[in-house]
Amino acid sequence: MTQSTDRILPGILLMIGFTVTAPVMDSFAKLASAEIPVGQIAAARFGLQALILVPLAVALGQIVRPSAREAALHLVRAGLILCATTAFFAALQAMPLADAIAIFFVEPFILTLLGALFLGESVGWRRIVASAVGFSGAMLVIRPSFAAFGAVALLPLATAFCFAAYMVLTRQIARRMPTVALQAWTAVAASFIVLPVLVLCDGSGIGPLDPVWPRGPYWVWLAGVGIAATVSHLLISGALRLAPTAVIAPLQYLEIVAAAALGYLIFDDLPDIEALAGIALIIGSGFYVFLRERRLSLTRPPPPAP
């Protein structure tokens, strides 16, 4: 077994671990949302992530004081990921887990378009067609969900837009900062934004933001959200470090399978035929984009030697 294979196989295993752990986080969030406001669930998610990752980053010697520009980027990124998380948790209050995640998976196509607009990345007609097919699949999932749940079905789409913008900003800073430190600062910045809002809204009667005192198992659900979020981020970061993106990115669509299984086992939810057709279109177009990118990367000539 070659050294490259030794690295790729653990990377694939870590990515598979992520595709299982991320829906576990969403399942905890859906369980907690029966009584806990979504803003409080998001605060638990980022607060626990900060409590876990900041000491880890310090132990690894990765925490350094960010510059003013980096601090501003952290706050903007935190605002985007906070909006994405809150919107998705709000969707999970009403929607089946697999349907919400399937709609969110238009995010790679949105990221492709944003990368072309703001980062100058080239986008050929094939990727544009694949993006259009992916959006069509999302519409197949959204349409019955919209009929059943109303505008809530659009929240995973809002999550996809916010997360794609978050990823564009992440590309601007990730090359200059270690992964654990980056995730730690993101969690700290998100907590810095959401916790004062919850304090100000305490007793206000604003449903999504008025915090409540958790009862019984809801402490477990909130802790599960934060712990699963932290573990999933570490797993995907490790996978990206060990294996090429073109190898592990298609595996992310296993997340829909894990979400459907957890949705059935925990909430007795299953996607209908129209939603399954939409999920198939999203997965198929996503695989096409990733496989084409992989083929292009293999045929692209190497950069000239210095």
pLDDT digit string (tens) for 115-171? Answer: 667 656 566 666 667 667 766 776 777 676 777 778 888 899 899 999 888 888 877
Is 169 within a domain? yes
Query: Any idea what the Cα angle at residue 102 is, between residues 269 and 244, rounded to 5°?
Result: 130
- pLDDT band of 218, cuts 50, 70, 90: very high
**112 token code pair:** 């492709």
pLDDT single digits (tens) 85-94 = 999 999 999 8
Task: Identify how many contiguous H helices and E strands the chain contains and give both numbers.
Answer: 12, 0
Q: How far apart are CA 63 and CA 65, in angstroms?
A: 7
Rounded CA separation 82/57 (Å): 21
Q: Give domain status of residue 151, yes or no.
A: yes
Across the chain, mean pLDDT equals 81
Contacts of residue 60, Cβ cutoff 8 Å, sequence gap at least 6: 178, 180, 181
Residue pLDDT, tens place only, 99-118: 888 888 877 777 777 766 76
Mean pLDDT of 249-271: 81
Residue 234 CA, distance from chain mean position: 13
CB 271 within 8 A of CB 100: no
pTM of this prediction? 0.81
Q: How far apart are CA 37 and CA 41, in angstroms?
A: 6
**Domain range for 183:** 5-296
Residue 114 included in any domain: yes
9-19 pLDDT, tens digit per residue, is 787 788 889 88
Separation CA 69–CA 79 (nearest Å): 15
Name the domain count of the chain: 1
Cα(306)–Cα(295) distance, rounded to whole angstroms?
25
Kindly state whether residue 303 falls inside one of the protein's structural domains.
no
From 269, 226, 276, select the one nearest 97 (Cα to Cα): 269
Instruction: Tell me what pLDDT residue 12 has.
Output: 79
